[in-house]
Structure 1
């Protein structure tokens, strides 16, 4: 591999300073989450968000848990929202739903909550996650721990109860 010319080094430094980085200069986390979110790597530019998701990603599910040793959906959502958005939530998904401004799926934006009725309509809200983008959300699933899923997957589509925007 040839060394960079001074002009090429200056161009790269200029791009980094302007935060306009080509795909070749993207960090591995950007590639990982571009794939998981099914969006172009150039659209991934929030390293704080990526690092937070990655620090939780794969954490095993533990009912009542709220640490990286084991976490359930509301524990994860509460910790995630406090860490990234500096928002304090209750510890229960049904209460989170009751305390949020309800939204339809097409109105969801990054940081909104997504709610599900996983035990039937009469059981009420039983699952929560955080919407990211492109129909994807991060949550603690009982089978796979903290993962990114798609609202269009048959399971989540059939259980989706609505979105919620936190109002503090």
Structure 2
């Protein structure tokens, strides 16, 4: 088989992989000129992809990347790369988002863990009950199933 004959096969495989990657993070394809909601969805999808690309990065309290993160440092870094500036702490990020119910959450929304009215942890919702987050000292950025329903959701706009 010549190199030219392999190109369509390689392109087909790359296209499939790209579509699967997009589907895995709950991505959507958005055309220019669509509503602000579509723009926000694109930004959230980009932030979700950035967070996923940091899989395995070590947790470090106060770190905002690009190699080490704490929880809010990961969300700050991910959204900054997607074109949106967030405040530094999980509580400040919660106060800056549009709050949504669990029934209306979407991939790319922020997930805020709270005790009473105090927010203490944040991650990025990946869909299917999972989040990307930087858990704690000794851990790494990872995709993990939500382990509690004591969470609030916030949409970055």
* Superposed pair shares fold, TM > 0.5: yes
Q: CA deviation at 1:105?
A: 1.5
Q: 2:23 aligns with which of 24, 43, 48?
A: 43
Indicate the residue corresponding to 1:114 in structure 2: 111
CA distance in 2, matches of 1:54, 1:163: 19
Gaps of 5+ in 1: 31-39
- TM-score, scaled relative to structure 2: 0.69
Runs (4+) off by over 2 Å: 8-17, 40-46, 48-55
Q: Rg larger in 1 or in 2?
A: 1
Which structure 2 residues correspond to residues 76-91 of structure 1 after superposition, within 5 A? Answer: 76-83=74-81, 85-91=82-88
Query: How many residue pairs are counted as aligned between the two chains?
Result: 136
Indicate the residue corresponding to 1:144 in structure 2: 139
Indicate the residue corresponding to 1:101 in structure 2: 98
Indicate the residue corresponding to 1:61 in structure 2: 59
Q: CA deviation at 1:164?
A: 0.3
Cα-Cα RMSD: 3.3
Higher relative contact order (Cα pairs below 8 Å, separated by 6+ residues): 2
Per-residue CA deviation, residues 94-122 of structure 1 (Å, 9 max, x unaligned), is: 111111111112211121111002xx325
- TM-score, scaled relative to structure 1: 0.65
CA distance in 2, matches of 1:130, 1:11: 36
Distance change in 2, residues 1:62/1:10 (3 Å): closer
SS at match of 1:61: coil
Distance change in 2, residues 1:56/1:74 (3 Å): same
Gaps of 5+ in 2: 28-45
